[in-house]
Amino acid sequence: MVFKRDRLEQFKKQKKEPAKKRHTIMLVDDEEPNLKILSVLLGGSYNIMTAMSAEEAMEMIEAMDNPEEKLSLVMCDQRMSGMTGVSFFEKINNKIPKTKRILVTGYLDMEALISSINEAHIYKFIMKPFNRADLMLSVKRAIEAYEMEKQLEDHVKNLEEKVRSRTRELEVKNRALEDANQALEAASLTDPLTGLKNRRFLLKHLETDIAMVRRKHRDARGERVKNGDLLFFLMDLDHFKAVNDTYGHAAGDQVLLQVRELLELVFRESDFLVRWGGEEFLVIARFVKRESGAFLAERIRQAVEAHPFRISEERTIRKTCSIGFAPFPFFLDKLDGLNWSQVVDVADACLYAAKYSGRNAWVGMQANAETSVDGFMQHILETPEMLIENQLVDLMSSLDDPPKIRWKKADH
């Protein structure tokens, strides 16, 4: 089967047959009898394209879409008018690098032979006059080499695509696993009812803030630190048990959810809001002035008191809260005097003082120049009145008469 140049367009549009691929060979020679002989020899097994010069062959290759897929072999005579076979192969090397090349010559030109092997990347060098059987075998081997390389390339591409596909699948699974792990981690640090942080979150994250606060105060060398404190607020809803007993636990849950909304209105996103247990909440206002404790505590108290807690479509109820607070560091002259857990204990003592003194109130405490670290926690837990009476701490409260604050539950 022989194709002249005028049949190139018809060849380009030729549909692939479902049978085994019939390879195409381009024959390039400036002597037409040579082209006819080679076409007859090879045309029974292969598609044949012919060109009378290297320049014509280059034009035909340039006109093809994806010529490397369409041309399995190019056979070219070495000595032609115009461009030589070696020069032709060198020029088409970048265009069709995988297509096999056979150089045919009637001259034993070693320089051309070496050049063609090194520069033109030929597959075979055939001398004229050629033996028909040798020629057919050389062409067959060249086509087989082309086919094997193509199959190997397709196999490698297929493997690479499988690897890419598998990699994408693994990436998706890894992302899903990471998301699941993050969700589990978040769940382990979050109160399931309110969505606020829990004690585990505090244990995991608070130490970083504690270290930063201590470093700021140490670097200040006795000077006041702007926004260098942590304020610990413990808030407890007053008579919350009555909500559960009267309206049911679902109503109590609704109240707790709305407390979260109120706390989020009072505090910043960067502050830690923690459900401490039951109806008790712990808030850590981060990197603030300790003097702002009273202001923030009053905002909490007012927000809860003014809010109509909706427990069903038909009913709202009113609630109040009690609050205790204390700053960290508690002692400015002894930064390690109390750890953060002990500061929470101080805030807890203040919280119960607010409750014992009538509820719907807040009480706060901080050290002054007379406060001693020695025995302080024992006094807070056992005899806080002594500290107050002797002005060994500074006390703040929303109550009208702080000296009459009750630190223990009244006997009945």
What is the average per-residue pLDDT within 333-346? 95
Contact 295, 364 (CB under 8 A): no
Residue 342 corresponds to which amino acid? Answer: Q
Q: Which of 171, 279, 298, 385 is catalytic?
A: 279
φ, ψ for residue 144, nearest 5 deg: -65, -40
Question: Could you tell me the domains of the chain?
Answer: 2-157 (3.40.50.2300), 199-404 (3.30.70.270)
Q: Give per-residue pLDDT as tens, 285-297.
A: 999 999 999 999 9
d(C-alpha 118, C-alpha 208), whole Å: 68
C-beta atoms surrounding 309 within 10 Å: 21
| Average pLDDT value over all residues in the chain | 89
More confident residue, 220 or 345: 345
Q: In the structure, what pLDDT confidence band is assigned to residue 17 with cuts at 50, 70 and 90? A: very low
Q: Examine the pLDDT at 148 and tell me if it is beyond 70.
A: yes
d(C-alpha 274, C-alpha 234), whole Å: 10
Q: Residue 184: which residues within 8 A CB-CB, separation 6 or more?
A: none
What is the average per-residue pLDDT within 66-90? 90
CA-based Rg of the chain, rounded to a whole angstrom?
A: 45
Question: What's the pLDDT at 108?
Answer: 62
Q: Give per-residue pLDDT as tens, 172-202.
A: 999 988 888 887 777 788 999 999 999 999 9
Q: In the structure, what pLDDT confidence band is assigned to residue 113 with cuts at 50, 70 and 90? A: low
Contact 232, 340 (CB under 8 A): yes
Q: Examine the pLDDT at 15 and tell me if it is beyond 70.
A: no
Note if 279 is an active site residue: yes
Q: Residue 206: which residues within 8 A CB-CB, separation 6 or more?
A: 272, 284, 340
Kindly report the pTM of this predicted structure.
0.63
Supply the DSSP string of 201-230, one letter for each residue: HHHHHHHHHHHHHHHHHHHHTTSPPTT-EE
d(C-alpha 308, C-alpha 343), whole Å: 32
Residue 394, Ramachandran bin (φ over 0: left; ψ between -120 and 50: alpha; else beta) = beta
Here the tokens at position 7 are: 């049949």
Q: Give per-residue pLDDT as tens, 96-108.
A: 999 999 998 876 6
Question: What's the pLDDT at 411?
Answer: 62
Q: Examine the pLDDT at 41 and tell me if it is beyond 80.
A: yes
In percent, how much of the chain has pLDDT > 90? Answer: 70
d(C-alpha 64, C-alpha 67), whole Å: 5
Q: Examine the pLDDT at 118 and tell me if it is beyond 80.
A: no
What is the average per-residue pLDDT within 161-174? 92
100-105/73-77 β-pairing:
parallel
Q: Examine the pLDDT at 1 and tell me if it is beyond 70.
A: no
Q: Is the N-terminal amide bond of 192 cis, ω within 30° of 0?
A: no
